[in-house]
Amino acid sequence: MQHRRPRLSTKAKTLVAASVALAAAAGVTVAQAGESSKKCAAFDTIALGKYYVNNNLWGQDKGTGTQCVWDNSRSGSTISWGTSYSWANSAKGTDSDVKSYASTVLGWHWGWKADKASTGLPIRVGDRKKVTAKWSFSVGSNPGTMNVAYDLWLHAKSTADWQDRPTDEVMIWLNRQGGAGPLGTKYGSVSLGGSMWDIYRGNIGWNVYSFVRRTNTTSATLNLDDFTQALVRRKLMSNDKYVSGIESGTEVFKGSGRLDTKSYSVDIG
């Protein structure tokens, strides 16, 4: 949503160097040294080709705690990364307040960080371009109240930049824990990608649509165009909107845990 907006020992350095060498031999690019070089400051970023990882602590004023991100590898358009967190409510916060959305970003997120041309975005909804999203991940035991979800940003024009508010936001929840629930009220349901999803509709200054998978999964291959078209068919979205940004990560409400992305990719067209 809008607001989403250590030093190594000699032995550790040796192990990291060996890992990098093995990865290089396998044709894998290792941009960072994994957890050993994790970043924990709010809105820290790690570049991974056309993506970047964002330690997005947009709701941190409603909580007390920390969250870190790290990257593991990149091979072509496929990346691996992780995040760990520990959040409790502050005096201003409640169990229903999201504290963070550590995530990968492709394209627009209140501006552009990666080379825009490399992202393949924006794309016009009505052009019906296939957006193949593959994600395999694991959720730690007792992860608290959280979800694992895609987040799509849409604008009314193809030239959106940092100052342009979105018109629509589409979330796709693959996994939820601890009673986490989406914004708004239930609108209906739909079968997409071989699974049933409940659709929720809300507004926070722009429309927010959430597709919540009825059963949790830790692996999915989806055409994200199917979800925007499901909204078009219901006359909730027009074909002349543009998908400007695609994110993936975990919204944390409270608790301690981690999300490990084993492999993730988004390919357009």
The 3-state secondary structure of the chain reads: CCCCCCCCCHHHHHHHHHHHHHHHHCCCECCCCHHHHCECCCCCEEEECCEEEECCCCCHHHEEEEEEEEEEEEECCEEEEEEEEEEEECCCCCCCCCCEEEEEEEECCCCCCCCHHHHCCCEEHHHCCCEEEEEEEEECCCCCEEEEEEEEEEECCCCCCCCCCCCEEEEEEEEEECCCCCCCEEEEEEEECCEEEEEEEEECCCEEEEEEECCCCCEEEEECHHHHHHHHHCCCCCCCCEEEEEEEEEEEEEEEEEEEEEEEEEEEC
The answer to whether residue 251 is catalytic is: yes
Task: Give residue 10's pLDDT.
Answer: 33
Which fold would CATH assign to domain 10-268? Jelly Rolls (2.60.120)
pLDDT of 238 strictly over 90: yes
Mean pLDDT of the chain: 90
| pLDDT above 90 coverage of the chain, percent | 86
**Tokens describing residue 13:** 């350095």
Per mean pLDDT, which range of 22-36, 152-166, 170-184 is the poorest? Answer: 22-36
Catalytic residue, chosen from 71, 168, 169, 247, is: 169
Task: Give residue 24's pLDDT.
Answer: 36
Catalytic residue, chosen from 71, 247, 251, 260, is: 251
Structural domain boundaries of the chain? 10-268
